[in-house]
Amino acid sequence: MEKNTNIYPIFEQMLQRSDREQLLRQKSVMIWFTGLSGSGKSTLAIALERELYKRGFLTRILDGDNIRSGINNNLGFSEADRTENIRRIAEVSKLFVDCGIVTIAAFISPTRAIRQMAREIIGKDDFLEVYVSTPLEECEKRDVKGLYKKARKGEIRDFTGISAPFEAPLHPFLEIDTSCHSLEESVKILLEAIEAKIKFVP
């Protein structure tokens, strides 16, 4: 696809991220949950957002269902479409972070390459990768959406963890196994890890 050369950014004329962070009295980051389906990514993201809200932080959650029902509703599940799905999510996340918002994403994002792409788009210093390392056996036991059952029957092709691989992060910012920690414990661990990252220092 040929790129449009008639684009003239005006970024230098706009308010800066630091201006928005000062207004909101918080530091913005991207908290990127990755892990198998059923590992607890979205549950953790929602619980974390509620706790941050109680503490006065402005947040925004992005996850597979709300993204694929909107901005990415024209994408399928081919390898190319999955890559484009994450690329668009990363670009949207970058805008939220630039607005001074603590942004929380919950996506399987199964390969290291695809997560590295997101990290490079958003910015490595802003990208906090949280690996929800709940074992496959536990995720399949939960099967909250009935997807593993369909995958085992061959009704879903290239399903991560069954017929497609998941590459665990090598050096995540944080790792949480929800089969070992309760939701309350997991959120406490998260809060302790990110507090210094989002606390506003005048």
Known binding residue 42? Answer is yes
Dihedral pair phi/psi, residue 160, rounded to 5°: -60, 125
CA distance 49 to 104: 8
CA distance 108 to 41: 8
Known binding residue 70? Answer is no
Structure token pair of residue 87: 């690329």
Structure token pair of residue 201: 């220092």
Known binding residue 76? Answer is no
Known binding residue 146? Answer is no
- The residues, ordered by sequence, that sit 6+ positions from 95 with a Cβ below 8 Å of its Cβ are none
* Whether 186 is catalytic: no
CA distance 163 to 166: 10
Q: Which of 18, 28, 69, 109 is flagged as catalytic? A: 109
Q: Which of 62, 71, 64 is nearest to 37 (CA)?
A: 64
Known binding residue 40? Answer is yes
**Binding site: residue ranges?**
35-42
**Binding site for ATP: residue ranges?**
35-42
- List, by residue number, the catalytic residues: 109
